[in-house]
Structure 1
Amino acid sequence: MIPVIVVLLFFASSIILGFLIQKTKRVVLPLVPPLPPGPSPWPIIGCVPEMWRNRPAYRWIHDLLKQLNTDIACVRLGKVHVIAVKSPEIAREFLKKHDAVFASRPITMATHLFSSGYLTVGVTPMGEQWKKMRRVLIAEVFNQSRLRWLLDKRNDEADNLVKFLYSQCLNSENGSVVNVRIAAQHYSANVMRRMFFNTRYFGKGREDGGPGLEEELHVSALFTLVLHTYAFCVSDYLPWLRPFDIGGHEKKVKDALKIIKQYQDPIIDERVRMWRCSNQENRIKAPVEESLLDVFISLKGADGQPLLSAEEIKAQITELQLATVDNPFSISEWALSEMLNQPEMLTKAQEELNRIVGIDKHVQESHIPHLPYIRACARESLRLHPVAPFNLPHVSTDDAIVAGYFIPKGSSVILSRLGLGRNPKVWENPLRFDPERHLSGDASQQVELEEHELRFISFTTGRRGCMGGTLGTTITVMLFARLLQGFTWSMPPKVDKIDLTEAPTLFKLHPLHAHAKPRLPAAMYPV
């Protein structure tokens, strides 16, 4: 028999050895910081049931941030850690300090469908395809010489906006009540259609410059895609539920995409055929570059072959329209609504236009840098009334430590447009529409729509920052300035105050109907 003393010594030495090994591990392996605070997830499915039960999901997430009294929260949906942020300081850590780690995008049902399997730039995860399309857009679409080449097309649509509204005022000497949303939505859509396809209409169009049935269907389909992209679809987090299409999310996306393709694809296919045939048979005269579609088709790779396939062109054109269709109209509609409730702001904006532009010529893009108050009104509208609750999600390609918390690889980071733009720690009286907060008193200082410090979300920053910020600013301010310059705006009959209720989409719940009266000499209005 083994003496008892030997057994005791063996166990004692084992305990001491285990203690020393554990202590060594503690020294070698530092403690991992905790995840950001958040609700306790269920096994496998995470918090998907709570997300579904508390729709819309963005309100549920914002309520969690408020209940937890935190600027950063973690919600696990399926296997994905969704990190929500409402602090500018933490937002800058993600998109500036750790930009390289958080520069990818998530795989979702909607983005996979409209990008034709990630052939575009905006929603495509990091990789060679993203780099390729990014180079194309920077070199061929958003450079200054290309934007100048397309100036006449944008000017035509700015003139058409005035024509369309003026035609609705002809029924009375004192003007008429008009639907501002229709004019504003279709202005930005018309601008992009002209730049891509060199046409305002898919069909016969209207003599007064307004949208036809085809354009109404096309724009409606674009908005359906905008509202369903990154919209917390259950199957994005639990892929095995996709065949059930819970909520009809996939059907809505496919139906909208079908309408968009119905109008765009025949134009693209015919134009591609013309360019390809002219290249194959030298006797056929090559088409003339008239639009961005021609630019895309005519690009050549290092081997002399077409750089972009027809599918890449179709998907990228759709994505660029999605990126442009919502902000200009929403900024202008919300700003004009707020200013009608504070008419002294309308007076100040129109006085600025009179002083800088005059009443004998229309405001042009060259005037935009010299209109600080109008730009401040647009910037304030963007801050207070964002077009979406969150920015496009950023996905981490590696583990990271941000704001003292552990952010696992594969996490989806969403910055709260509402939480940043309406943050009382950043903005005094944040729910008040006050353009003056963006004016420093220095007349030489430019008022930009961009917000590089992420105190609110405009064109974001970093590798995934919007490349079309200059174009987006131009379309937005031109729309807003033409509305203000061309017409005197007032309340509709029997209305004392414009209703500022938000829809669940964050757009204005009710389209703005306002009384418009021409304020320029009659010769300034196209007929």
Structure 2
Amino acid sequence: MEGTAWVSYAAAWLGVLALLLLGLRLRSRKLNLPPGPKPWPIIGNLNLMGNLPHRSLHELSQKHGPIMQLRFGSFPVVVGSSAEMAEAFLKTHDVAVADRPKLAAGKYTTYNYSNITWSPYGPYWRQARKMCIMELFSAKRLESYEYIRKEEMNALLRGLYKSSNTNILLKDHLSDLSLNVISRMVLGKKYTDESENAIVTPDEFKKMLDELFLLTGVLNIGDSIPWLNFLDLQGYIKRMKALSKKFDRFLEHVLDEHISNSKAPDFVAKDMVDVLLQLAADPNLEVKLERHGVKAFSQDLLAGGTESSAMTVEWGMSEVLRKPEIFKKATEELDRVIGRERWIEEKDIVNLPYIDAIAKETMRLHPVAPLLVPRLAREDCQVAGYDITKGTRVIVSIWAIGRDPKYWDNPLEFFPERFLGKGIDVKGQDFVLLPFGSGRRMCPGYSLGHKLIQSSIANLLHGFNWRFPDNMNKEDLSMEEIFGLSTPRKFPLIAVTEPRLPAHLYSM
């Protein structure tokens, strides 16, 4: 009797299991998934990704459409490659896809997803976003740091003047500008110098930032096929861990010094680390900001602010050098509006529409993050009639949008005039131009980055005539890029400058 009961019990459970499996099958059949290439076993569609994934995805979208589904190993990945899809993911379904995938870069280089960029959607991230908007990047605070940006811009222009009529690597000068500006705003001083007691030299720190952006954007196999993660087949995790140690050593020194300074009776918070430490000490915070969180935020601020402006300006100057007629139009506007007796200030940009157009055209063709930072669907949703299931990784290709003839005439041509009189901005509401992203996960420091890009391009064009070295012409200039979270030039721009303003301005 007992045996019969056991058999009946088992049969009942098997029946329930069969019904569940049938239900899952029926559900999966009913899902209307976006089109895409057929995945291979185990690797999915990783075989279709070349050294420049943003270009690979663009080619695939030409075949499968503006919304397509791939598989990267074990994980579904949906790619949006049109302004309409960008709006759907970043605005209409912003909350549904506001999470971040758990990638190795976030774990090993950002104190286990503790920074602003990689922290998962939830109370900690919402608190971080609020800190950025209300404290770190408020209009009042950015205005209070304008003197720093002005001083460092003058230092850049003096340095270029001293190097007049010689071949220069523009990237080095631009990196110094952005690193010095961000260091002073975030850390209170230039911790990177050439003294014997320096924690890290400028060259070492720049290499650390370059490595961070590369490793944050790589296609690490273990992120797609988790059971291979422990093998670290590409060696990326080893590099991430080594880089993390370097950054931690530097940031520990920064925090120790700031905490020591804060004990002085006349102490006043001056930089962003001071502000972060004060916020961390607030007992009313919804989620306590630990020491590693302060370090993660500080690293995020340093990296984001340094890379975006320097890389964009180098691309912009590369494009202008290839088209002398653009330089002529820009300098005509500068001479008419500013004259030749002073430098451009940030408040002047509103009166320089062609300079602003050059900056926008650069960000259209050469966005800092061509695929933005990947998102993760927190819940099921429908986009363009297709089912996006919870756990799907979401990629928005602003690189593809910037090259789409549906929105841009002659999209591969560098033509700033296309922005004149159009009112298109970079604040995340015009979905044809999203260099800083959009929605809840938009870059919180976009206003600062935009200011640095505009004022740098304006002053470089105002202060100097530019040409290629004697043994080079515009046809020789490679426009190849390197892929990471950002896409810098593969070969740094080499150029020659000649002063075009009175000599006394370069000594200010």
- The two structures have a TM-score, normalised by structure 2, of 0.88
DSSP-derived class of the 1:246 partner:
coil
**How far did 1:392 drift?**
0.9
Q: Verify the 8 A CA contact 1:48 1:77 in the aligned structure 2.
A: yes
Aligned pair partner of 1:47 in 44, 47, 63: 44
Aligned pair partner of 1:437 in 400, 403, 418: 418
Aligned pair partner of 2:245 in 234, 245, 258: 258
1:440 maps to a residue whose letter is G
- The structure having more radius of gyration, on CA atoms, is 1
Residue 330 (str. 1) matches residue 307 (str. 2): no
1:456 maps to a residue whose letter is L
Q: Verify the 8 A CA contact 1:33 1:404 in the aligned structure 2.
A: no
1:50 maps to a residue whose letter is N
Show CA shifts across 1:126-179 (max 9, x none). 01110111111111111111111211111111111112212212xxxxx32221
Q: Verify the 8 A CA contact 1:349 1:373 in the aligned structure 2.
A: yes
Which residue in 2 is equivalent to 1:479? 456
Residue 177 (str. 1) matches residue 167 (str. 2): yes
Q: Verify the 8 A CA contact 1:331 1:381 in the aligned structure 2.
A: yes
Residue 130 (str. 1) matches residue 144 (str. 2): no
**How far did 1:55 drift?**
4.1
**How far did 1:425 drift?**
1.6
**1:224-373 map, 5 Å:** 224-275=211-262, 278=263, 285-299=265-279, 300-303=281-284, 308-373=289-354
Residue 187 (str. 1) matches residue 151 (str. 2): no
Aligned pair partner of 2:67 in 67, 72, 76: 72
Q: Verify the 8 A CA contact 2:315 2:362 in the aligned structure 1.
A: yes
Q: Verify the 8 A CA contact 1:269 1:310 in the aligned structure 2.
A: no
1:60 maps to a residue whose letter is S
What CA distance in whole angstroms lies between the structure 2 residues aligned with 1:329 and 1:146? 22
1:266 maps to a residue whose letter is H
Percent of residue pairs bearing the same amino acid type:
32
Residue 199 (str. 1) matches residue 189 (str. 2): yes
Which residue in 1 is equivalent to 2:18? none
After superposition, the Cα gap between the structure-2 partners of 1:488 and 1:237, relative to the gap in structure 1 and judged at 3 Å, is: same
What CA distance in whole angstroms lies between the structure 2 residues aligned with 1:470 and 1:149? 14
Aligned pair partner of 1:512 in 480, 485, 493: 493
Show CA shifts across 1:369-396 (max 9, x none). 2211111001101111223431111111
What CA distance in whole angstroms lies between the structure 2 residues aligned with 1:30 and 1:269? 55
Which residue in 1 is equivalent to 2:149? 154
Which residue in 2 is equivalent to 1:503? 481
Which residue in 1 is equivalent to 2:437? 460
Q: Verify the 8 A CA contact 1:503 1:509 in the aligned structure 2.
A: yes
Q: Verify the 8 A CA contact 2:44 2:74 in the aligned structure 1.
A: no
What CA distance in whole angstroms lies between the structure 1 residues aligned with 2:316 and 2:43? 40
Comparing 261-270 with 241-250, greater Cα deviation is found at: 261-270
What CA distance in whole angstroms lies between the structure 1 residues aligned with 2:315 and 2:48? 29
What CA distance in whole angstroms lies between the structure 2 residues aligned with 1:451 and 1:132? 21
Show CA shifts across 1:485-513 (max 9, x none). 22111222132215142124242232111
**How far did 1:298 drift?**
2.1
After superposition, the Cα gap between the structure-2 partners of 1:526 and 1:109, relative to the gap in structure 1 and judged at 3 Å, is: same
1:40 maps to a residue whose letter is K
Show CA shifts across 1:469-497 (max 9, x none). 21111111122112112211122213221
Aligned pair partner of 1:217 in 204, 207, 210: 204
Residue 381 (str. 1) matches residue 362 (str. 2): yes
Consecutive unaligned residues in structure 2, runs of 5 or more: 1-22
Which residue in 2 is equivalent to 1:419? 400
Show CA shifts across 1:427-469 (max 9, x none). 111100000000027xxx5x63445232133122111122222
What CA distance in whole angstroms lies between the structure 1 residues aligned with 2:227 and 2:344? 54
What CA distance in whole angstroms lies between the structure 2 residues aligned with 1:316 and 1:197? 12
Which residue in 2 is equivalent to 1:13? none
Which residue in 2 is equivalent to 1:526? 507
Comparing 377-386 with 223-232, greater Cα deviation is found at: 223-232
DSSP-derived class of the 1:489 partner:
strand
Which residue in 1 is equivalent to 2:14? none
What CA distance in whole angstroms lies between the structure 1 residues aligned with 2:435 and 2:53? 22
What CA distance in whole angstroms lies between the structure 2 residues aligned with 1:159 and 1:47? 52
Aligned pair partner of 1:90 in 85, 88, 97: 85
1:219 maps to a residue whose letter is K
1:488 maps to a residue whose letter is N
Comparing 125-134 with 74-83, greater Cα deviation is found at: 74-83
Which residue in 1 is equivalent to 2:8? none
2:361 maps to a residue whose letter is E
What CA distance in whole angstroms lies between the structure 2 residues aligned with 1:29 and 1:261? 48
How many residues are aligned here? 479
Consecutive unaligned residues in structure 1, runs of 5 or more: 1-24, 170-174, 279-283
Show CA shifts across 1:255-296 (max 9, x none). 333333333321222212443xx3xxxxx5253322111111
After superposition, the Cα gap between the structure-2 partners of 1:303 and 1:395, relative to the gap in structure 1 and judged at 3 Å, is: closer
Comparing 375-384 with 253-262, greater Cα deviation is found at: 253-262
What CA distance in whole angstroms lies between the structure 2 residues aligned with 1:167 and 1:212? 28
After superposition, the Cα gap between the structure-2 partners of 1:36 and 1:29, relative to the gap in structure 1 and judged at 3 Å, is: closer
Question: RMSD in angstroms over aligned alpha carbons?
Answer: 2.7
After superposition, the Cα gap between the structure-2 partners of 1:36 and 1:305, relative to the gap in structure 1 and judged at 3 Å, is: closer
- The two structures have a TM-score, normalised by structure 1, of 0.85
